[in-house]
Structure 1
Amino acid sequence: MDNRLDGGRFDAALHLLDRQVGDCDGLLVCKVDDLELSYYDDGSPAAVTRVLAGHAALVPRMSSRTGHWLRKRWVSLGIQYADRDVPLSFPLEAIEHLGSGIELNVERAGLLDRQPAATSGVTLHRMGELLGMQIETEHPELRGKVLDVRLEATRKDRWPMRQLVIGPGRPGSLLGYDRGDFNGPWMVQSLVERLHRHIRLIDCDAVEDIDWDAGVVRIASDAVAEDASLAKAPG
């Protein structure tokens, strides 16, 4: 499969989450359980900056569907561990190829370490927090939730967030049909395209505010809504 990093833009949930990671020798390293998001005080675009792995990454992402009961229960079972809630991670610079899986340019020995704390001027969040957030806007074409985030591989150390994929349903429910990742029978494609005709792409510049506690993304009423059709799929 072609390297999506060479094509420019790709989608976080569709192309990254839950993919297997292999080192330069083809040995299994981990699975992508979540992604680190960095928000910059200097106004730089928010970006994915690290891959997160392990139970401390996966459990919080899954627990959002259970009112965070699962995460609280999991932490309580190991309260003697100071870093139990800190996931393992590795930097994006280690990624060489993004296709059906993720291939690294380094050996797996000693690669995974605990996620570093945020540096000055940076606020850290996770992709799993953003996905599924409710959309608030007066825009007539926008409704639903954040289904995915379109990234751009313009740098080795960070992948800026360029667009939000917005629509009804929940993250993962589209299975890539809306973005051309499945070349099935034309009748099935036509049906799925109709079912997801309300899916829209919004530039991240149109986001006015993100309430992380309430799980709400507020978007400007004059945002330009792009139809996320099969013809406009990245890569």
Structure 2
Amino acid sequence: MVSLTERDGYDVGLHLLDRQVVTSDGRLAGKVDDIELLRGEDGTLTPTALLTGLPALLPRFDLSVRALPRVIDLDLIEDVDSEVRLTVPGPDPSSPMEPARATDPRRLRVSRVLGLPVRCAVVPRRSKVLDLRMLGSPCGPGEHRVTALIVGPGRPGALFGYDRRSEPGPAAVAAVVRRLHRHARVVDLDDAVELDLDAGEVRIGPGASLRPLRG
């Protein structure tokens, strides 16, 4: 897989979620069970940390848990390919999440956005959020934020990266995946897109920028 340092952007579900975390001295430090986002007053979504442990994983399967996940700051990522490699040694580069951080209304988890139903007149019914597209790379300098949503019929993760020509894989499989997801769209996050977590849906209004997946 091409290193994310060579990319102009990345998809958080595809390139980070469920990846093995490895410290700088080669120790396994769990998996990326979720990703924390910080929601700005203007609606921007900025990735801030990797979340690990059962308290991060179980809510993805609608299982409630009182314990809090452990946190690995995004700044500790050195590189991402088939695994997430950190700049710090083991055995445990994570820290416990503080209760105040867990209850901060500005903070949310990527898993809370993935799978949200989408209300839009120009996308097929039963469309949902399949992934979140980020600016830059988690291991590169500069700004990091969610720039677009990938929406369409199906389930999160079903694209397997085959919407991107740079992703390796059998050509026949890529063709089938792209055919199945031919109705999927990339929706730029702007004023025409409303992420309503209380209502549990994404509303895409007139004037929104929708474009086909590259493939």
Q: TM tier, shorter chain?
A: 0.7 to 0.9
Alignment size in residue pairs: 209
The residue correspondences of 1:85-164 to structure 2 (distance < 5 A) are 85-116=67-98, 117-118=100-101, 123-138=106-121, 140-141=122-123, 143=125, 144-153=127-136, 159-164=144-149
**Secondary structure of the residue that 1:177 maps to in structure 2?**
coil
**Secondary structure of the residue that 2:13 maps to in structure 1?**
helix
**Secondary structure of the residue that 1:159 maps to in structure 2?**
coil
TM-score normalised per structure 2: 0.87
The structure whose Rg is larger is 1
Distance in 1, Cα, partners of 2:97 & 2:5: 23
Closer/same/farther in 2, CA of residues 126 and 156 from structure 1, 3 Å limit: farther
Shift of 1:111: 2.0
Larger mean CA deviation between 121-130 and 84-93 belongs to 121-130
Distance in 2, Cα, partners of 1:101 & 1:25: 14
Shift of 1:100: 0.8
Provide the aligned C-alpha RMSD in A: 2.4
Sequence identity of aligned pairs in percent? 36
164, 170, 177: which one aligns with 1:184: 170
Contact 2:27/2:91 (8 A) holds in 1: no
2:38 aligns with 38
1:213 aligns with 198
1:193 aligns with 178
1:54 aligns with 53
Closer/same/farther in 2, CA of residues 123 and 194 from structure 1, 3 Å limit: same
TM-score normalised per structure 1: 0.80
Gaps of 5+ in 2: none
**Secondary structure of the residue that 2:133 maps to in structure 1?**
strand
Closer/same/farther in 2, CA of residues 133 and 207 from structure 1, 3 Å limit: farther
Amino acid at match of 2:60: R
1:15-43 deviation digits (Å, cap 9, x = unpaired): 110000000011101100000010012x3
Contact 1:93/1:156 (8 A) holds in 2: no
Closer/same/farther in 2, CA of residues 44 and 199 from structure 1, 3 Å limit: closer
Q: Which runs of 4+ in 1 moved over 6 A?
A: none
Amino acid at match of 2:88: V
Amino acid at match of 1:202: V
Shift of 1:14: 0.7
